[in-house]
Amino acid sequence: MELLAGRSGWPSILLGRAATLAPDAGIEAAEAAGAWSAWKNAVASIAPDALIASVERSGLRGRGGAGFPAGRKWRAVANADRGQRYLVANGFGADPGAHAERLLLERDPHGVLEGLALAAYAVGATEATIVVRAGSGSAAARLRAALAAAEEKGYLGSAVLGTSIRLSVTVRELAGSFVTGEETVLLRALEDRRAQPDQRPPYPATKGLWGRPTLVQNVQTLAAVPWIVTHGAEAFAATGTPDAPGTILLSLSGALGRPGIVEAPMGTTLRDLLDLAGGATGTLKALLVGGPTGGFLPAASLDLPLGYGTLTEAGALVGSGSILAVGSETSIVELATLLTRYLSDESCGKSIPCRIGLRRLAELGDGLCTGLCRPTDEALIRSLSADVRDAALCGLEAGAPNPLLSGMRYFADEFAAASAGGSAPAAAARPGVSA
């Protein structure tokens, strides 16, 4: 996907260097553009605790979906029991509509590695793994080349920059479904166990990889850390919004003039983002914000600013930063059903409400699309969604009802028309469905 230019004056925290470097630039060029200077500075003069305090003050929140404060997670890992600690950098990029992490790994692997080194040093992790989705173009190869160059220079390895700091880094390519990007699933996959989620708590911060304290952090979150060290926590906190400082990489796709990836400050309105992507190609009907477990927003929400609270209240998610523009010719009932079917197929099946409930939700959506439905089916979707959410073992299950629920919230007429056209047999003739 093309890298789109942001507005002039916007801070360039994540892709500033990538925009100026040749795609195959080596470590010398990256260093000339500022790479690894924050790490050298930290090794020479910043104590791990001061680094954690700085990330806490910066207000940096995780970019992998949940928006959890990074500093709080670092503190929890640093305070966990002594002994082996791990860092897992999540670059799996599970959302099929989000391409930004792959671009970041391909264009500035040194930025991710430097952020990883700073985070590992802060929490006392001596082994780190970066997970990349198998088949992600040249991301893994670029990362491995950058890693070898950084080891060669002594920035990573057994005696970092001649000190007693140790940090061994491995790149792992994993194949798997959408749910593999969820942190507990990722950890089990790294242990070569069945890729299914674990009940939390305990969180990976206290019991993660091989049962040891583990910092799981999205690669985009890590890439912001060198900037924070170089420019200061206060400078970072002054960007974006007070609730969500910094910038985010957004993948803008669908019915747009110029789909692509843009780095924008948190708080940017959806309208501004669409403008940067060339605007809607026809009449805009909706935006799917936050990926498959995100939600539909009507075209009337274009003035909504990008933020964790604002989007959740409106029924969508910041999620992995993917925004899909939906044109007026698309049926929301059909698209919501397609997404529900996708999530049902991608479910690992460990939780019974997820395994059975999502299949039933997709069947109910199919019924609305084909006319094999009853007037009570919308109410059934709502109550089944509540049950699935209540029982959720992981975020896939908790978020899977979102497409149908947000569709019913904002496009009630379309759903009502589909229900009214229903010709399903009486309830008694359909096992498992009560009126």
Candidate residues 42, 78, 94, 169; the one interacting with ligand FMN per rule CB under 6 A: 94
Cα–Cα distance measured from residue 88 to residue 140, given in angstroms and rounded to the nearest whole number: 15
* Stretch near ligand FMN under the rule CB under 6 A, chosen from 2-10, 39-47, 371-379, 390-398: 390-398
Site track for ligand FMN across 323-362, x = CB under 6 A: ----------------------------------------
Cα–Cα distance measured from residue 91 to residue 139, given in angstroms and rounded to the nearest whole number: 10
Q: How far is the CB of 89 from ligand FMN (least distance, A)?
A: 8
* Stretch near ligand FMN under the rule CB under 6 A, chosen from 65-73, 163-171, 252-260, 419-427: 65-73
φ/ψ of 12, rounded to 5, equals -115, 90
Which residues neighbour 113 within 8 Å (Cβ) at sequence distance 6 or greater?
130, 143, 146, 147, 150, 156, 169
Q: Residue 122 burial by CB count (10 A; 0-12/13-18/19+): exposed, middle or buried?
A: buried
Q: How far is the CB of 425 from ligand FMN (least distance, A)?
A: 35
User: In the block, which residue shows the tokens 């990008």?
Assistant: 306
Residues in contact with ligand FMN, total (CB under 6 A)? 22
User: In the block, which residue shows the tokens 């985010």?
Assistant: 248
Candidate residues 176, 295, 395, 407; the one interacting with ligand FMN per rule CB under 6 A: 395
Select 182 or 363, whichever has its Cβ closest to ligand FMN: 182
User: In the block, which residue shows the tokens 């990029």?
Assistant: 93
Select 135 or 432, whichever has its Cβ closest to ligand FMN: 135
Range 145-184, binding ligand FMN (CB under 6 A): 178-179, 181-183
Q: How far is the CB of 29 from ligand FMN (least distance, A)?
A: 27
Which residues neighbour 370 within 8 Å (Cβ) at sequence distance 6 or greater?
none
Site track for ligand FMN across 23-62, x = CB under 6 A: ---------------------------------------x
Cα–Cα distance measured from residue 18 to residue 227, given in angstroms and rounded to the nearest whole number: 14
Range 182-221, binding ligand FMN (CB under 6 A): 182-183, 216-218, 221
Distances in Å between the Cα of 56 and the Cα atoms of 11, 229, 234, 267, 299 are: 20, 12, 10, 20, 36
Distances in Å between the Cα of 370 and the Cα atoms of 56, 326, 406 are: 52, 21, 20
Select 181 or 367, whichever has its Cβ closest to ligand FMN: 181
363, β-bridge pairs: none
Select 194 or 258, whichever has its Cβ closest to ligand FMN: 194
Ranges assigned E (strand) in 191-274: 214-218, 247-254, 260-265
Select 63 or 107, whichever has its Cβ closest to ligand FMN: 63
Select 291 or 365, whichever has its Cβ closest to ligand FMN: 291
Q: How far is the CB of 67 from ligand FMN (least distance, A)?
A: 7
Which stretches within 217-302 are classed as H helix? 219-223, 225-231, 233-237, 270-276
Please choose, from the candidates 298, 302, 296, 331, the residue with its C-alpha nearest in 3D space to the C-alpha of residue 316: 296
Select 133 or 212, whichever has its Cβ closest to ligand FMN: 133
Asked if residue 385 binds ligand FMN (CB under 6 A), the reply is no
Select 36 or 92, whichever has its Cβ closest to ligand FMN: 92
Kindly give the interhelix angle for 139-152 and 109-123, rounded to the nearest 10 degrees: 60
Asked if residue 68 binds ligand FMN (CB under 6 A), the reply is yes
Site track for ligand FMN across 222-261, x = CB under 6 A: ----------------------------------------
Q: How far is the CB of 91 from ligand FMN (least distance, A)?
A: 7
Cα–Cα distance measured from residue 286 to residue 403, given in angstroms and rounded to the nearest whole number: 12
Cα–Cα distance measured from residue 98 to residue 60, given in angstroms and rounded to the nearest whole number: 20
Q: How far is the CB of 33 from ligand FMN (least distance, A)?
A: 24
Q: Which residues bind ligand FMN (CB under 6 A)?
A: 62-66, 68, 90, 92-94, 178-179, 181-183, 216-218, 221, 394-396
